[in-house]
Amino acid sequence: MNKKAVIANDHGAVDLKNLIADHLASRGYDVVNLGVDDQQSVDYPDMANRGAKEFFKGGYELLILCCGTGIGISIAANKIHGIRCALPQDTFAARMAKEHNNANCLAFGGRISYKEPVTDMIDAFIDSEFEGGRHASRVEKMMRLQN
């Protein structure tokens, strides 16, 4: 059975969303697109909420959220119980987001000029494993902050 990802975006990241969705499909993922597909203005907190609601229905490995910068939608996502949303700058940060932080959500910005392709960052994340151990207790501690 294919792995599943859900993606949501606002109007600031339509092209990036399509790039990511195509890339995940090429990596064998079934991708559910809940973002907007045109330039009509929407609110990124609504998109974060929509994506997270679908993610928590279960069966998804990953939630990807995109807005103009990735900042607003990642802040919104991290207000949602159970979400650990990373906003990686490069492939190193993307790998760490899995290995150390066990992130379940990645955010990117459609108006950001990244020094490495976003698709490489996604590969770095999905090809890594959470290391557990001392990182597990830190993640547990981090998640207790939401209560």
**Residues near ligand RB5, by CB under 6 A:** 10, 12, 44, 67-69, 71-72
Catalytic residue among 66, 67, 85, 105: 67
Strand-by-strand arrangement of the 29-33 sheet: 29-33, 3-9, 62-67, 105-109, 85-86
Token representation of residue 31: 């991708």
Token representation of residue 104: 């379940």
Which residue has the CB atom at the shortest distance from ligand RB5? Answer: 72
Q: Which is nearer to ligand RB5, 21 or 87 (CB)?
A: 87
Q: What is the 3-state secondary structure (H, E, C) of 61-87?
A: CEEEEEECCCHHHHHHHCCCCCCCEEC
Q: Which is nearer to ligand RB5, 14 or 124 (CB)?
A: 14
100 is catalytic: yes
Q: Which is nearer to ligand RB5, 16 or 126 (CB)?
A: 16
Question: What SS3 state is found at 39?
Answer: coil
d(CA 127, CA 54): 23
- Quick one: 45 exposed, middle or buried, by C-beta within 10 A (0-12, 13-18, 19+)? middle
Q: Which is nearer to ligand RB5, 14 or 103 (CB)?
A: 14
66 is catalytic: no
Shortest reach from residue 12's CB to ligand RB5, in Å: 3
Catalytically annotated residues: 67, 100
